[in-house]
Structure formats: C-alpha cells, structure tokens
Amino acid sequence: MDKAVLSRRSLLAGGATVAGVAALGAGAAAPAEAATASIKKVVMYRVGRFTYSSRTHVTTVKSYTKVTVTARFVGSNVYLMNSRKKWTQIPYTWSKTKKGLWYNHYLKLKLDAAAAVAAAQNSPTGGYKVVAPATFASVSTYHSSSDWARHLLRRAAYGPNAAGLADVKRLGYAAWIEQQLNPGTINDSVCDALLKRLYATPMVDQSTAIWRVNHLIDNGDINSWEQYQSVLTDLTIRALWSKRQLLTVMEDFWGNHFNVTIFKDGTAESRANYSYTIRTRAFGKFSDLLLAITKHPAMLTYLNNRDSTATHPNENQGRELLELHTVGVDTPYGEDGVVNAARILTGIGVDSDSGEFAYQPWNHWVGAVKVLGFTHSNSTDTGGEAVVTALTTYLAHHPATAKRIAHKLAVRFVSDTPSDALVTMLAGVYLKHDTAIAPVLRALFSSTEFAHSIGAKVARPYEHIVSTARLMEVQPVLQNLDAPQQLWYQADNAGHNPFGQPFPTGWADTSDEWESTACTLARWNNAIDLVSNWWPSDWNRPALYDLAVGPALPSTHGALIDLAATRLLGQPLADADKTAVLTFLGVTASKALTQNSAAVTYNLNDWLSVLMDSPYQMMR
C-alpha cells in the first residue's frame, strides 16, 4: 500500500488498526496490509471469563459462548461489523485447532491503546494548539456560565484578580493559555523582585547547587528551618503575585505527585533545589521530569534510596516509583516488580559530603531485571545509571502511567469525576507527544468538558485562602515577607500545608478529603481573618470600601450588595443569597444607604467574609 495514503485522514477513515505484533502503546499504527480481504461466516468463541498473565501475555479462556458470525479477515486481523455498519477490529485471532475465533487479551490491550491514540487524533487540536471552546456551562448555581475568564483563572491560576482578568481578556483564551505554557516569555518583574528579597544574603535562590546550600547550613550561615520555610514562602509569593500562574499551579501539582514532605529530616539542603527541578520541567516531557525526580537527592533521601545497597536493597523508592509516580497500584507489577525496580535503583545515591547526586557503582545490583514489560541484562555495575534511564523511560510511556497522569490532571483542572472519554483522550495526547505535558494541557483547556465544568470543584484550604487574598488585591510591604509566610501557616492550620502531606502520596485533590468540621471551620476563619485584616495583616491593600464599593456609593442596601458581588465575584448574588446577606445585616433591600451605614463601615468586613465563606468563593 502506498505510504502516502498513511496520512492522519486515512487512518481516521479506516479506523486505527494494529497488526498482531505492534508494540504496546506505540503512537503510530501499523499500515493496513495489502493482502486480500475475505469475508466469511465462521465460528466465534465469544469469551466469558478468562485469566491473563501480564508477564507471559498468555490468555487463558475459562468460559465462552459459541456463536456464528460474519467476519472479515485481512491478514491476521479480524473485523466484525459494528452497529454503524463499519468493520471494526476485534481482539480475536483465528485458532486452527479450534477452527474458530479465539479471544486474545494481549491483542485487546493493544487495540485499546491504539484507540486512545486515535481519540487523541480526533480531538480538536491533538495538543498542538489551544482552541477556545465554543460554549461554556456552569454546573453550579453560584457561578455564571458566561464568565469564562474567571473560570479559567480559578483553574489555571490561583483565582482571579484585577490584573489577571485584564490579561486574560486582552490576550483572549487561547493566547493566554499559550503564554502561560511559555513562562519564560512572561515578564514577572514584580514577583522576581520579591523573590530576590526572600533570597537576600545569607539565603540563596532555589537554583543554587545543593553542595553550596549544604555548605551554608554547615557553616551556620543558613538555618535549616528557614531553608524549608523558604520553599513554602516561595510558592506562596508566586501563587499570590506571579504572572506565571499555571507554572505555579503545576509546581504545586507535581510537588504533590512526587511528594517529598517538607521539613522531612535530611532534605534541608536539597528541598529547595527540588522545587526548582520541578519548575524547570513542569511542562516538558514527563519522562524527563520522572528521571530528574528519581535521581534527585531530596527524593533519594526521602524514600531512602541513598541507603539502598546491592546486598540490602531498600525497596521504598522502587515501590513508590511504580505505585505512586507512574503506573499505579492497579497495574500488576507484583512484588517481583518492586524487588526488581529496587535493584535497578541501587547505585543511584547521594554523596554525603556535598549532598549532590552521585552514582555509586559499588552499590549497584548486577543481573537480569524485569519490571512489567521492561527487561534488561543490567550486566555491569558501572552501567546501572543507563538502566535507570531505560526503566523510567519505559514507565513514563506505559499506558497505565498515561492514564494515571491524565486522570490526575483532569481531577486537578476539570472535576472530581472526569469522564473516561476525557481521560482516554488526554492519555492519548500524552503518548502521542512522547509524554510531553504541555500538549495535554492544551487539549485539556480546549475540551468541552473543561468548558462545561464551571463551579465543579471545591477549593482546598490553600487555594481558598490564596484566592481570597488575590480577590482582596493584597500587595507585599517593603520591609518584610511576613504576610505570605503567615498565609501558608493559616493554610497549614486548616490541614493544607501545600507540601506537607505526611506521606509520599501527596494531598488528595477531591473534595471529600476536605469536608471535616475542623477543615471547614479553619477555612471559614482563615477568610474572616484575612478579609478583616486581622491575620495576616502586614500587607499593602486597598480598603475594603474601595474594593467592594468603588467611587459611587449606591443609594440602597440591595444595590450595595449587587455592586459588591459584581465587583468581587463577577456577578450579583442569587435572590435568596442576597436576602440572606440583608438578613445578616438586619436591613431590607430598599433601606437607604449612606457613607456612615454599618454595612459600609464596621459591618463591611463581616458580610464580605460571609461571601468569602460561601459557595461563591468556596467552590471554584
């Protein structure tokens, strides 16, 4: 068959087909064979129960129903006609001994992977560019369907503020996202100046070599606690004021996917550099990020791989590499997989003097290794690093990893229960682009499901307090950076220190994990304290009156509430909610409003806090 015909169009027209021996998860489909197609009535042993070994790829059919079907054969591929009268390949092959079609689960897995790729190719842009969705829709009565700008900023940023809204509207949906995916092109001078203050001598910025930070701590120039805290303050400064918002959101995301619990013993000299490592790879290929994380001294310390030796391998990092970082616990790598992964990882360690990564061949376990479909002779102690690279590349490209990362991103940005179709599409984009993340995000933000998910997520404590601070238009003071530091303490108080989840799992991103009474009350109080400027209080910020009311005072209380809601939330409150606020203030809608009214003086912080504690701001 003419290779020129193998354009995307021909593949889409014919349906993705896979010959029996194509590699699992490969992006390109094998060419449709030129062999003569034949159609005949045959026996099919329609499978009921079966077992499958992921190690040997052998399918054992336990039960079946014998039926007669009309099948089309092209080479070894078998097709049945589907309900839309299209020949669709089925995971059955011709069995000579049984003289009928016999189920092959390995083939099914490959067909599924190819279908994912095809789905990606069917998506609006397949990850190549952002296309603004045609329509937006809200799933919440608290959020307007038409306010796509606030929706975008509640998801791809830490919430709307005046500058953010202006940028989004000026650039438009697609261009704003594209710019966010290229953070180096964004002028971030305000945030840069703040970070420079954070890293004023004796502190050093996150890109500093670990050995140098180690040295500064040894000398007593830098205090370990302050070094750890700087990681959280850095994140919070960015979340509040950086224009590179999506990058910051992704630092938070990857920082939890690859959790190294902050303040964990032994990572004082490496944890800041770890954040830097994440940020510089946040939008690139997951395989690159995974390798850098796997070899980073912070991770090697946190999951004990630096102590792992050939004679006594420590399985902690090997296990989490599979369970948490890549394929996930539902993939049958088995205890064997963990043992082998741990063996492969032996030798990647840390030099005790400098704290830097060091490959230590004397620690490396030598011998054939196998993890899922990955095998390697691993025959020399000096060759271990290459095996690690090969393993992480394999794992990054595994369809289960693609699905897990796609699912996590969908939960982060779309809803707690994203559809299978969306996840499959995103996984396909991931694989098609060699595990690159930026295309996945492009496809995600182009999707109808994202556009129709306005108001679907609940703000976790850190998100809630940071977005409330952004709404309050807080700005830093000249003298110190106490306020952002106090802000993450407040989130910590509510159970959400952004890098503080005590286990390698990282924080959950679904609302059910954050519904306790303690967490709810803490979020409410955090907003009250912030709005009222009780704690933190070291900000430069507009007066609440200027924020909520502006230059023209309305003449009634009802109009006041409409105005403030529109200014802060982008829309007036629903009637029942407006009534609730009026009742709270002890007034009627028509009651006259003056400059001295309680509602714009000593009660202003109260009812604005009520708004911040309501679903209007608790949901995002």
Partner 1 sequence: MTETTTQQTSTGRHVLDCCAEAERASSFSRRSLLKALGVGTVAIAAGPMVGMRAAFAADPGWSGDTVVVLSLRGGFDGLSAVAPVADPNLVSWRPTIALPANAAIQLDSLFGMHPALVALQPIWNAGNLAFVHAAGLPEPNRSHFEAMDVMEKAAPGSSIRTGWLDRTLGLHSAGSAFSAIQMGSTSIPEALVGPVPVLGMESISSFSLDGTNSTADRNKWAAALNAMHANAPAGLQDSASGTLAALNTANTLATANYTPANGASYDNNSDIARALKNTAQLIKANIGLRVLTIDLGNWDMHAGLGHVDYGWMYNNLTELGGALAAFATDLGSTYLASTTLVTMSEFGRRVQENESNGVDHGWGNVMFVLGGNVTKGVHVKMPASGNLLDDANMTDGDLTATTDYRAVLADVLVNRTGASGADVTAVFPGFTGSTLGVTHT
CB-based contact 286:408 (threshold 8 Å): no
Site for partner 1 in 40-99 (CB under 8 A): none
Site for partner 1 in 380-439 (CB under 8 A): none
Kindly report the backbone phi and psi dihedral angles of residue 41, in degrees, each rounded to the nearest multiple of 5, phi listed first.
Answer: -85, 125
Q: Which of 192, 218, 336, 546 binds partner 1 (CB under 8 A)?
A: 218
Pairing state of beta strands 64-74 and 37-47?
antiparallel
525 binds partner 1 (CB under 8 A): yes
Site for partner 1 in 449-508 (CB under 8 A): 458, 489, 492-497, 499-503, 505
Q: Which of 7, 12, 122, 534 binds partner 1 (CB under 8 A)?
A: 534
CB-nearer residue toward partner 1: 287 or 501: 501
CB-nearer residue toward partner 1: 33 or 606: 606
Amino acid letter at 184? G
Total number of residues that touch partner 1 (CB under 8 A):
73
Amino acid letter at 287? S
CA distance 459 to 159: 10
Site for partner 1 in 539-598 (CB under 8 A): 574, 576-577, 579-581, 583-584
78 token code pair: 């078998």
CB-nearer residue toward partner 1: 262 or 341: 262
**Residue with structure tokens 């070599």?**
209
Site for partner 1 in 88-147 (CB under 8 A): 140-142
311 burial (CB, 10 Å; 0-12 / 13-18 / 19+) is: exposed
CB-nearer residue toward partner 1: 125 or 229: 229
Among candidates 315, 293, 313, which has minimal Cα distance to 363? 313
CB-based contact 322:331 (threshold 8 Å): yes
CB-nearer residue toward partner 1: 239 or 581: 581
CA distance 459 to 465: 9
CB-nearer residue toward partner 1: 262 or 348: 262
Which range of residues in 184-192, 339-347, 396-404, 517-525 is near partner 1 by CB under 8 A?
A: 517-525
Task: Show contacts of 355-358: CB within 8 Å, 24+ apart.
Answer: 355/210, 355/211, 355/213, 355/214, 355/269, 355/270, 355/297, 356/209, 356/210, 356/211, 356/297, 357/295, 357/296, 357/297, 357/300
- What is the closest distance, in whole angstroms, from the C-beta atom of residue 196 to partner 1 in the complex? 23
CB-nearer residue toward partner 1: 15 or 266: 266
CB-nearer residue toward partner 1: 54 or 525: 525
- What is the closest distance, in whole angstroms, from the C-beta atom of residue 43 to partner 1 in the complex? 49
Q: What is the per-residue binding string for partner 1 in 287-316, x denoting contact by CB under 8 A?
A: --------------x---------------
221 binds partner 1 (CB under 8 A): no
Site for partner 1 in 315-354 (CB under 8 A): 319, 352-353
∠586-591-595 over CA atoms, to 5°?
Answer: 95
- What is the closest distance, in whole angstroms, from the C-beta atom of residue 615 to partner 1 in the complex? 4
CA distance 108 to 101: 14
Give the length of the chain: 620
CB-nearer residue toward partner 1: 27 or 266: 266
Q: Which of 147, 252, 269, 509 binds partner 1 (CB under 8 A)?
A: 269
State the CB neighbour count (10 A cutoff) for residue 232: 25
Site for partner 1 in 136-165 (CB under 8 A): 140-142
